[in-house]
Structure 1
Amino acid sequence: MRSIIEFEELQSRLHDANVRVIDCRFELGNPQAGLEQYVNSHIEHALYFDLEKDLSGEVKEVGGRHPLPPIEEFLQKVRTAGISEDSFVVVYDNQDGVMASRCWWMLRYIGIENVFVLNGNFSSWQEKKLPTSTVIPTFPHSDYEVRIQEQMVAPTKLVEEVVSKKYDAILLDSRENKRFLGIEEPIDKMAGHIPGAMSSFWKKTKTTEGMWKLEEEMKQQFTMLPKEKEVIVYCGSGVTACPNVLALTELGYHAKLYVGSWSDWISYSQHPIAKGE
């Protein structure tokens, strides 16, 4: 897989001048935990990107729980990290790649091409006694200029057109099946799914150890999706959809992220809601 990197390769590249390692650990419901864990120990030379402060913008009436941040603000974070078009960026977390996949997607969205998600959690890196540090590094600022990849995003209007059958694409819901079915909704104010959507829980892209499944196993996960159609992926707030976007991209699908996802969809009173299969 072109967007997945193994521990051994990262270890061998850790001291390369063009390598940037990004720690994205974050716990929903305990927003300080990730930064505290980073300060306590992180992969050597890693910088910290916070899901809600760096990889998300201000929550508004519409747009969902984790909207994109203002691009200029994110660009400043990227420049401060010394990331440029020549950088080799590796992102990791301790949440089976969810937060790392969001960061991967955002860096790709602004035009950084060499971005990789580490295959395994930070806890596994520690268990293998691979290089860690408490030093918070600094790098020379870059002058990177964004090249927005609009084709990676599905705005709300496009999703509306898919639902009304004015645009031919597949909607893929990445949440647990009980949330998709509308049986349970622990986070958002309304239960159910976007009409016409299919369901594939993001954790099905992973092994029980939190590793990415091999390509052949991954293909089996998405056999119901025809390759010739665009796939618009969503979840609750545009975060847990990202592992599915990454997996589909790796398999050669044209996958778009509905950033606002379910939390944005239900913020419009006129939007229809489906339950059950």
Structure 2
Amino acid sequence: MTDPIVSPQWLSQHLEDSDVVVIDCRFSLAELELGHQQYRTRHIPGAFYLHLNRDLSSPVGKHGGRHPLPNPDKLAKKLAAVGITSSQTQVIAYDDSRFAFASRLWWLLRYLGHEKVAVLDGGFSRWQEEGYPTSSDRSTAKPGKFEVNLQPEWVVDIETVKARKDLPQVMLVDSRSPERYRGETEPIDPIAGSIPGAVNYFWQGVTDETGSAKPTDAQRDRWQEASAADEIIVYCGSGITACVNLLSLHLAQVENPKLYAGSWSDWCSYLR
């Protein structure tokens, strides 16, 4: 399967497949343990939990942003521990935040060389609304074998952004809300504003209000202006919700967009 988004119906039909592993990515930036608590209370049967801060990010430093990319080898061990085998296991990631955290895992797995990954359309809420079962049981796994095949060209750092952002064929995309992009409000980082030259594509435009992906045609229409760019660099606050736009670009068949992983939280750390 190559579709990056699957329906609850598809997942329900394949939930017992030996080569399918489901990962719960629910998280709250305001309440750091809320997602894990929700998982322990109720989750999709057989799902495992990966925590944004502990599993899908590295420890925070002076620079590098609020959610630096995880160490590939450490993440590979965690993926293997929940039964994921490189190039073999079909991974389904879900959250309850319009793909905000599931798309981080979707992007990370592909960054590590594992293409067989998709996000659950509508997340946990749609799964429940459509009447599919949930569980509070602890999931157990037969360990897999995960080998890293890193795609380093998918990521850029602050120096690359500075050097390339004003070139005529480079499109720098800010994925945050219009208010944060314009610098009118900043609820998380110490400085408000955006990187000069960036254009705003709010990540929540990828889904409808129920958290389901908009049709592929709508994703293509959304990125019409991107067709003229030779290079697209995407950022957000800390490299999380930018991955929703990267998923949208993938759906729109726009090739080779790059993630500024440190994003605004890294950029503004040099402004203080």
Report TM bin, short chain: over 0.9
Match of 1:265 in 2: 267
Amino acid at match of 1:111: G
Query: What's the CA shift for 1:269?
Result: 3.5
Equivalent residue for 2:226?
225
Determine helix, strand or coil for the equivalent of 1:264: helix
Deviation at residue 262 of structure 1 after TM alignment: 0.3
- CA distance in 2 between counterparts of 1:77 and 1:237 reads 22
Taking structure 1 as the reference length, the TM-score comes to: 0.93
1:35 maps to which residue? 36
Residue 191 in structure 1 maps to residue 192 in structure 2 = yes
Q: Does the CA-based 8 Å contact 2:219-2:251 persist in structure 1?
A: no
Q: Which amino acid aligns with 2:106?
A: W
Moved more, 126-135 or 48-57: 126-135
What is the CA-CA distance between 1:127 and the residue it aligns to? 2.1
After TM superposition, the structure 1 = structure 2 runs for residues 57-96 of structure 1, keeping only pairs within 5 Å, are 57-84=58-85, 85-96=87-98
**Structure 1 counterpart of 2:42, which letter?**
S
Q: Could you tell me how far 1:224 is from its partner in structure 2?
A: 2.1
5 Å matches for 1:1-277?
A: 2-84=3-85, 85-163=87-165, 165=167, 168-226=169-227, 228-253=229-254, 254-269=256-271
Shift of 1:192: 1.1
Cα displacement (A) at 1:150: 1.4
Distance 1:103 1:72 in 2: 15
Following superposition, the deviation at residue 86 of structure 1 comes to 0.2
Preserved CA contact (<8 Å) 1:238 1:259? yes
Opposite residue 258 of structure 2, the aligned amino acid is K
Mapped partners of 2:156, 2:253: distance in 1:
18
CA deviation after TM superposition for structure 1 residue 29, in Å: 1.3
Q: CA deviation at 1:159?
A: 0.7
Contact 1:152–1:255, Cα closer than 8 Å, also in 2: yes
Partner Cα distance (2:193, 2:62) in 1: 20
| Counterpart amino acid of residue 59 in structure 1 | V
Contact 2:8 2:126 in 1 (8 A): no
* Residue 131 (structure 1) shift: 2.2
- Deviation of 1:157 (Å): 2.1
Structure 2, unpaired ranges of 5+: none
Q: Following TM superposition, by how much is the alpha carbon of 1:134 offset from its aligned partner in structure 2, in angstroms?
A: 1.2
CA contact (8 A) 2:180 2:193 kept: yes
Deviates more, 1:195-204 or 1:214-223: 214-223
Contact 1:227 1:252 in 2 (8 A): no
Equivalent residue pairs, number: 269
Query: Identity, % of aligned pairs?
Result: 41
Alpha-carbon distance in 2 for matches of 1:247, 1:27: 22
Checking the alignment, whether the CA contact within 8 Å between 1:162 and 1:168 is kept in structure 2 is no
| Gap runs ≥5 in structure 1 | 271-277
RMSD: 1.5
- Structure 1 runs of 4+ with >4 Å offset: none
**119-128 or 45-54, which deviates more:** 119-128
In 1: Cα distance, 2:206 partner to 2:166 partner = 30
Q: Who is 1:274 aligned against?
A: none
**Amino acid in the other structure paired with 2:93:** V
